[in-house]
Amino acid sequence: MQLTSIIANMIGTIAVINLIGVIIQGSKQLSVIRGDGNRTRQIIALGIIGGLFGIYATISGFRMSNGIVIAVRDVGPMMAGCLGGPISGLIAGMIAAIHRLIVGMPDITTGTTIPCCIATLLIGLLCGQLYIKFKAKEKRVLWAILIATEMELMHLVLVFIYTWLMSGFNASVVLIIQIAPPFLITNGIAFGLLAYVLDMVEKYKSVERQEKQVETELNIAKNIQKDMLPSIFPNFARRKEFSIDASMKPAKEIGGDFYDFFFIDEDHFAFLIADVSGKGVPAALFMVISKTIIKNNVSSFANLSEAIKKSNIQLCEGNKSGTFVTAWIGVYEISSGLLTYVNAGHNPPLIKRNGKPFEYLRNLSGFFLAGSTKTEYKQYQTHLNAGDRIFLYTDGITEAMNNNEEQYGEDRLLNCFSGQYRDKTVTEIIEVITDNVLKFADGAEQFDDMTMLALMISGEYETITVDATLDNFDTVSVFLTNTLKKHNIDTDLINKMNLVLDELFSNVVNYSKSKDYKLGVSICADRISMKMIYGGELYDITKVKDPDITLAAKDRPVGGLGLLIVKKTMDKVDYTQEDGLNVITLSKKIGI
Amino acid sequence: MDKKGDILEVQVIGSLNTQTAPQLETVLADVEDGVENIILDLAALDYISSAGLRVILVTYNKMESVDGKLVIKNAQPGVVEIFDMTGFSSILTLE
């Protein structure tokens, strides 16, 4: 009966020791007390803590009816020794023993003070010897119980010998029989439990360490991902033909947005934006492979839709996770201003052409990438001329949420480009949109990557519009000559451009039935660009077959020579239809 | 325009384009019979367009039919380039 009540009474003390152990080992703020990272401080700290444990245990011991106090004092030196080594054990043992000596001073000869003091000191030292072995164990509870009972057995032996010497054999046996069970059980429980909670703290700490490591690695991955995106400087900063800017603002979690731009050859510039479905590491990995595959194919195929078709097939291969990619890919031909693009399920870009306001370019070429191997991708074409701009973005922009769970949306985005903002440069565009979206979100958490890319064609076209009659040729010709002279183009080249104008203007007047004729001239970098817009019959002049110029004079056709001259004089001649009008764009490198 | 016996020499000044080619055509079409050689002096010709080439081709064929000759002289590099480009160099006599 007495045994159970002893244990019941002692549980409180044991619990307190455990609690302090957890707090000291587990708390981040107490790392100084623990002496983290400094072995000497750690040894001393453990020694003192163990000693204080011992003092507390002595004070809160249970006094049995025969006056003997059952205490778990030795747990302090045990802990200090096992966790901190011999010196910690010695310090803890000394502190606890000295305190025990002071407490037991009044009846030093009759009580068990002397053997108890010696035992406590010895336990500290002995446990210090077990330090390395104990540290290496994984499940330390059983070991702790074993150590505690062994140590207390030694303690009991000392008490037995001392009592025998002082009070005789019989009295000694009676005493040991009385105190041995509670002594062994309480100390076993106390140190076992302490080992258990310390194990748990260790475990949580290592989980925390692992989490931290994963977080660090993810951050590294995020940076690698970011570094994979091309930078504007120094490669593209000084391009005269166009300016480009892009930004990616990743959400907290690593994601799959990316943009890319690169020269396929001297005359063809590819730029694209894409969004891989999902988040986290899977999306990031898919982003890397998507970027590589798209760049490889766009660089090696002459035809953009073929390049995207091939990319899609490659991305479908082995894609069992159901990940998919939406992408908008454009290839800009600098000499002609022709933009060829494919939209694989991506958000419609905003485009500003011919001095008109920004509008959404909603052509869709096909299903998103990595969805189905059978998808065909239709390519579209439009012209980007001097001053034109195009803005690509991912759904992180349009689907940005505010605190009222409202989405930013396409209308708000379009509004950013109206009024005072319509003539912003690429860098300003990115800034304005970023600001506007952040202002809208008003502190709400960003859930998705926000990625943008803006491209603007440099220079401005000077234009003239006349009625399409032969009489107006002089007016147009004078305009062209003056514009070219302003840019110091030499007479020979001016004559050539006038020749080209002559051929095409007369064609418009004679065959197209157009009421008017618009000519745009732009000189940018080392290139003269001309653009002619007229109505009437839609007819692709580039499809006209070249005449045979080897026939005998009397058999020679007269038609077709003009277009032959145009094609041979200019570096590039392109024909498109825009808004029901014929558009011819021509370009010629200056100096060749 | 300068006529010496059966030789007609014409100086073409400025550009021979859509607007001006018909003028030359009129001039050359009015040439009297008996003229066997036409010389076009292109020293002051800035450029020639297909409209001008057409006039030259018509004139060339006309002279061939009367066993006459069309001679082009002093053509500037830019104009020669057009003749080369269009295959006219192979039929014309350039001086």
DSSP A381-397: EEE--TT-EEEEE-HHH
The pTM assigned to this predicted structure is 0.60
Q: Chain A to chain B, count of Cβ pairs less than 8 Å apart?
A: 73
Check CB contact under 8 Å for A554 and B49.
Answer: no
pLDDT per residue as tens digits for the range A510-567: 999 999 999 999 887 677 889 899 999 999 988 888 888 888 777 777 778 899 999 9
Which of A473, A492, A562 minimises the CB distance to B78?
A492
d(CA A112, CA A420): 94
**Contacts for B81 with CB less than 8 Å, ≥ 6 apart:** none
Q: What residues contact A300, with CB distance under 8 A and at least 6 apart?
A: A307
d(C-alpha A182, C-alpha A5), whole Å: 10
- Judged by a CB distance cut-off of 8 A, whether residue A108 touches chain B is no
Q: What is the pLDDT of residue A345?
A: 93
Element (H, E) at A90: helix A86-104
Asked if residue A338 lies in contact with residue A383, where contact means CB atoms within 8 angstroms, the answer is: yes
As a whole number of angstroms, the distance between CA A54 and CA A194 comes to 14
A20 compared with A397, residue with greater pLDDT: A397
Name the pairing type of β-strands A325-333 and A338-344: antiparallel
pLDDT for A421:
64
CA distance A574 to A583: 8
Residues 6+ apart with CB under 8 A from A515: A467, A468, A535, A536
**pLDDT tens digits, one per residue of B12-24:** 888 888 888 888 8
User: What is the C-alpha to C-alpha distance for residues B60 and B73, in angstroms, rounded to an integer?
Assistant: 14
**CB spacing of B47 vs A495 below 8 angstroms:** yes
Whole-number Å distance between alpha carbons of A296 and A311: 9
Residue of A nearest to B21 (CA): A502
Q: Which helix (DSSP H) or strand (DSSP E) does residue A319 occupy?
A: none
ipTM of the complex: 0.88
Of B18, B86, B88, the CB nearest to A473: B18
Q: Which of A495, A555, A566 would you mutate first to test chain B, the one with the most B CBs within 10 A? A: A495
Per-residue model confidence as pLDDT tens digits over A54-92: 999 888 888 877 777 888 899 999 999 988 899 999 999
* Whole-angstrom distance, CA of residue B81 vs CA of residue B47: 10
* Better pLDDT: A328 or B77: A328
Phi-psi label, residue A575: left if phi above 0, alpha if psi -120 to 50, beta otherwise:
beta
* Residues A287-335 pLDDT 10s: 999 999 999 999 998 899 999 999 999 999 978 888 999 999 999 998 8
Q: In A492-530, which positions are buried (b, 16+ CB within 10 angstroms) versus exposed (e)?
A: ebbbbbbbbbbbbbbbbbeebebeebbbbbbbbeebbbb
pLDDT digits (tens, 9 = 90+) for A328-359: 999 999 888 899 999 999 999 999 887 778 89
Q: Is A478 on the interface with B (CB under 8 A)?
A: no
Q: What percent of chain A has pLDDT over 90?
A: 44
**Minimal C-alpha gap between B93 and chain A (Å):** 12
**Res. A202 pLDDT band, cuts 50 70 90:** confident
DSSP three-state, residue A82: helix
Distance from CA of B57 to the nearest CA of A (A): 7
Enumerate the residues of chain A whose CB falls inside 8 A of the CB of residue B87.
Answer: 549-550, 556
Instruction: State the average pLDDT over residues A361-373.
Output: 91
- The residue among A348, A373, A350, A376 whose CA lies nearest residue A362 is A348
Q: Strands B37-41 and A359-360, how do they pair? A: unpaired
A506:B49 CB<8 A: yes
Tens of pLDDT, residues A28-54: 767 766 666 778 888 888 899 899 989
Q: Report the distance separating Cα A144 and Cα A127, nearest Å.
A: 10
